[in-house]
Structure 1
Amino acid sequence: MNGGMRAPGWEAPVTVAELVNAGPLAGARMYGAGENPVRGVRIVDELSVFGTVAPHTAVVLIGAAASGGWAVEMAMRRAWEQAAACVIAPSGGLSEGSGEVLAERLGVTLIFVDEDPLIVAVRVASAASRPDAARTQLVARCATRLAEAGASARRVLGVLNAELPGTSVAFLDRYGRYLAGRRDAAGDSPVARSGRWSAEVTVPGQEEVVLGTLVAGGSSRSPGWPSVVRTVLGLAVAPLTAWAAQERLRAAADFAFQASLAERLLTGSATSALGAPSGPGVSGEAVAGEDAGTAAIALGWPVRGPLTAYHVRPPAETDDAPLAQTLITAGLGQVPVLVRGEGWAGWSALGPAELAGRVQHCLGTMPWPCAGGVGAQVEGLEPVAESLLGAQAAAFVAVEGTVLRADRMGPAELLGALPTGVLRAPAAVVLRPLLGIDRDGTLLETLAAVLDEGGALKAAERLGVHRNTITTRLDRIKAAGFDLDDAATRLALQLACHVMLR
């Protein structure tokens, strides 16, 4: 990694916390925030040496300066006076309880180490003089660990959260839903919380579609740490892309297998051997040679008794059928899911009313603004094809976010699928005699209510007027030349009224 490719902050001084969390002091016990930058190291064996200690220096105590609790406490006070970055002392020089209290009171970070302080001093000096090299070592270690993790989102996120101390990392899909890692990291995207920083790296999918986003956040105030984190997150992109490709192939194979099985059931090929790719739950070997009905039962699909078809229609054609299958089965239970038209369809043992409610809930989980349709209930698999056609027609007519039952479709629903501009001119011709005498629109509204409700009484209730008022208006409508006793005339008038009132 050359300097020209590093993000801003890569060569910023390391902080005390960085040295402890991900550097040469890893494993040491730190008391204090560790937010100060470390620009150098000074070995101190006598308290008198403190007069020459420069600010932002890591002070390493040895000899008399680390000989006991009193000496360490005095060193802490002198370090505060000199604005030192931290004090590093050998374990045992001061009780840890006293060290924590002293660090908090003086605002100086205190670090206890078990190794030889002189060796520690050399390591810290190297990291302080070459912060880019120290960070490069961390990145190299992360690269090795990520390679060992392989194509597994769970293991990759485990490495990131283990190797980036003080940092929470999560993987979100392209819809912002949590997939793996630490859930608290999701709250840092896209804007950092107060007093925290955040970093994001996009994980590309196939055909220029974003697979998801790695988000990281923490409270470290090291100016170089976010840059290091972004670099490490970038290393995780390749294994996550490989993981997604594997999962996509597995899901596609599973969907292809189940869709093929559903088609065999619909076409009556219930005794055909299954040669489709295997998927989770039911393997190709397990069902090879068995009839499709047995395989469907193993999957938990309904194949006998009352059955009702459903159809889910996205706003445009999408190739993410495996995701749709996952969301539909999560909402409807173990049901077939196959591609029909521009959407997905199947059948359930639920009745039309309950199935419509389930599909409505399912629409709320979809990442696309879908519409749904439910067909008529039929007996057994043979007539399911007819129910599927009804469900598809209902889904085509339904508006986004709603579910329409095929047995509840009327003129208004059918007209909803047609462009108003195409029908408005013919509707005006049909209603011209009425529109010529209807100054305020009450006659048109009355005619529509009577035709929809099937009579004057219900029309009066719908409009909130007396029945005699409806009768008087009907007389005026008939006087305009409309024969409401003729079925063809009633149908034409009903459709025309709905077009004009839309």
Structure 2
Amino acid sequence: MTAPHSPRKLDVAAAIERGALSRTVTIHRAAENPTIDSIALISRPDQARRVSPRTAVIVASGAETSGWLVSAVLRLAWERRASLVVAAGQHSESVVLLARRLDITLLSTADDPTNVALALSADIGAANAAIESQLIALLRTVGEQTTVDEILRVAAAELRLCLELRLGEITIATVGERESQGLTMVGPLTISDSASGSVTLWATAGKNEDFVTTALTLILPLIRAAWFESGALDLADVLSAVAAIDEAAMPDNLALQTVMPRLGWRDGDAHAVVFLAAPGKRPTRTMSNVVRLLWRRAAINRSLVDTADGWISVVSLGEDDDTSRVSRELGAALATSLGELGIGIGLSRAYDSPGNLQEQVAEARIASRTAWAAGAEGVGSFEELTLQAIDYLFDPSDAITVAQLVVPEFCRANDRDRLVMSVRAFLDEGSVVAAAARLSLHRNTMTARLDRARALGLPVGDPRQSFSVEAIIRAFLPRDHEGPGIEPLTRTTSKGLS
């Protein structure tokens, strides 16, 4: 349906150059080129007080057209923001000077003003009919689309303009190409309003601002309907995935086997879990719709599932088992836009089988939170975390998960609990002698235990990593030392870490 040019309301230039006013004589042409929405055929100056803006004021035949009457009509028409004035006969120099000073278009006609009014009315009706015809065709075409993305894409193509979707001041989607000159911003048109912010639609229109405004106003209900419906598109996946996670599903769990393919898992390929985290925020419906829109616009053909603190998905790594490639692709497509929304991106390690979904989600969640808290740009990859990542974690189980990645030998050591107690005493007392006395050990025994902890990868005594060491020790403290303990984790992943 795309037309070479969008239909326009009749304006002064079109009426003079090729319409009903082409036989008139231009006394003065205003700098602006307003549209002509209606006609007022008047016989007395006071009738001009009641005309609407963008009206063609035509002095009727038989009316006195002396200089004072035309001058009075010009002043009143200018006050009412009329588009132009047409009056028969010759006009004095004072009338011409007044039209120039007010900068309002003044035309003279030798024809019967009533005939001019009838012809101009026909031109206005024809222009409005063309507009209505294209608006109906636009609604029919756009109405066939079912998602926000599709509606924006088709509308931008049909209207030949650039459409923007914004959350507050942040642009979350841009469709279409901007013109280089003569741009006018049309908006905002509110799609959704919530505590997360207002989602609004903007357009960069050229000269045809009125038509664009009318068209967007008509398609706005379609966008709103698609926007609110999009929150329910993945409902089945959400319920199944959340149930599988809550059940701590293992590979033989039927719920997990059902949900993983729906999240994007394909047999024969290595996969990783992606977690989009909004630290300190509970995802709202508006924010979920925004994130899903950005996710789809990044051409990621995978379901995105809401959790209590973010969104998860499963992405294929292909046969190369390469998380770095996926990390770069996700970063290029999403890091900037999600970063502006305060959302971090995390990627788990590669897995060749569904495994324990809880573990995979935990890895991706940790990676996203640490990357966001550290102010890192791009995607946080779990397998690239260092011990300092623990500085940004407050959950002991998360600290253990990172520790098993970066200091696996210490975590697997048979004498780990004894080493934990010794390092704890050293951190509390600040010296080997005091720590040995606290545990009733010989100084050399305490020194040997600290050396063994260092040999197993734990950087005891390094001031740059003291907080991380403290967090690991607290997480591994035995039950009888400080509250409920945490049993050693012995999971096995596709990377061979346990």
TM-score after normalising by structure 1: 0.49
